[in-house]
Chains A and B, each alone.
Chain A
Amino acid sequence: MRVPALTLARVFWRCLFLQAAWNRRGMQNLGFAYAMAPALRRLYADPERRREALRRHLSTFNCHPYTAAAIVGGAIHHEERVAAGEEAASATAEYKQVLQGPLAAVGDGFFWAGLRPFFGALAAVGTLAAGWPALVAALAVYNGLQLWLRWSFFWAGYASGDAVVERVAALSLPRWASRLRDGGTVLAALGGALLASRAGPSPGTAAVVALAAALAGWWALSRGARLLPSAYAAMLLGVLAALALSRLPGGP
């Protein structure tokens, strides 16, 4: 038996709640079972078999919330075969177990360390240069991209089961992540220059202070300084620099 398209769409919608009850014991287990439920209802008319299937999906699970869609799709692929008696029930659990680690690593590296911060920096630069329309545009492009990729992962998992690994590998996400990290670094620097250019009340002097803080900040963070204490130190040094400069003839 195949799961109908509308049910698949419902499962995909529920994938968006994967981390709703993230917990220290089962991690995303509740979210995974919640996402799978509409498909399991279709596949197992017998409540006892359905309960057994749900119990399988309440086992510990943790993955990146975007790439996990591929595993949810693949789990339905396997459950269809389990329901038809073509596979042992343990096949679904093994599939989840094998894929969750590698797909979590791909998702963390590409989405959380590449794509999302890149769009965060792009949105910041866009907002500074062109105001809210650029911000809206950046968020719209990011969300179009991430939702399309999530759906593609889900569908690839459902359609190809174990072969989803090759489908995801073909996207070369780690290579793209490396480019995004380089591009994001440049965007953050551009954002720093734009912020410096509009720092008041005496823009030229304040801009020099901002650029000095950027260089000192890089130096401090690369030596393991903690983010928030360093931010406070930067603000304090900026205030002290202003007080010192105000004592100079012609100072700000």
Chain B
Amino acid sequence: MDYLLLALLAGLAAVERKGFLQAMLSRPIALAPLTGLALGDLPGGLLLGPPLELLWLGAVNLGAALPPHETLGAAAVAGGAVLAGRALGSGVTPAVACLTLALVATLAVLGRSTDRLIEEWNVRLAARAEDLLEKGQLQAALRVNLRGLLLPFAASFALAPFAAALAALLVPAALRRFPGAAPPLAFGWAALSGFAAAAGARAFRSQRGLPLFLTALALSAAGARMLGMWR
């Protein structure tokens, strides 16, 4: 049931990402918490959403260029981490998040290749619509547009639960076999979070990017320290 829910969520998000609406519901910041909520671990989804969003903030579809499939990546990471955390009985910890991301984040790159294949396939849909129009079947020709939503849905429906299952199998096994690995992996997650902030800031391509980033980072880090957020 969990895998079916994840598959549906990933499929619908893939449709929302490009084919319909584009309302940010397929962005990692929304999808990771939604996945956590659907699988019974909202806090886990909320832990994953911000760094994943910052990491893939620059993943936008400009013109005909294809970015990594951040939606598929986020669904696989969030689904896999929640299911792995549940198998361990710990929920999503930084160590679980780090290992899951390392294991399945490349799905975003595979998703980009899938997108390219879908765009090639859709050329046939366009030709089909033109054929139907020539035959005078106007309504049928127009409905072809909606058939373009099926393949993105199907691709994410199949790939996201597969990757999550892989993570749910391997991550708990690895952490049980090497319990001492959890603290270093938590540091790995901390480093990934810092890197994600830099990737997010770079994605804006601000002309004053470096001074703004350094100043804001220094001031907010100092503020966090003053507020006692760091021990």
Contacts and interface: CB of A to CB of B under 8 A. Distances in A.
B190 A206 contact: yes
Contact of A51 (B62, B136, B185, B202): B136
A199 B129 CA distance: 53
A200 B187 CA distance: 7
Given A51-B138, A192-B193, A185 B126 contact: no
A123 B231 CA distance: 26
Interface in B180-231: 182-210, 212-217, 220-221, 223-224, 229-231
B187 A16 contact: no
* Dominant secondary structure of chain A at its interface with chain B: helix
A242 B188 contact: yes
A188 B190 contact: no
Contacts of B186: 199-201, 206, 242
B129 A30 contact: yes
A117 B57 contact: yes
Interface residues of A, number: 105
A117 B49 contact: no
A26 B231 CA distance: 58
A186 B49 CA distance: 19
Contacts of B169: none
Interface residues of B, number: 97
Contact of A22 (B106, B119, B207): B119
Contact of B23 (A128, A146, A195): A146
A67 interface: no
A222 B213 CA distance: 13
B220 A213 contact: no
B54 A121 contact: yes
7 contacts: A20-B148, A34-B142, A116-B24, A135-B46, A197-B224, A211-B217, A222-B202
Interface of A: 16-17, 19-27, 29-31, 33-34, 37, 47, 50-51, 54-55, 58, 62, 65-66, 104, 108, 112-114, 116-121, 123-125, 127-128, 131-132, 135, 139, 142-143, 146-147, 178, 180-182, 184-186, 188-207, 209-218, 221-222, 227-228, 230-232, 234-239, 241-243, 246, 252
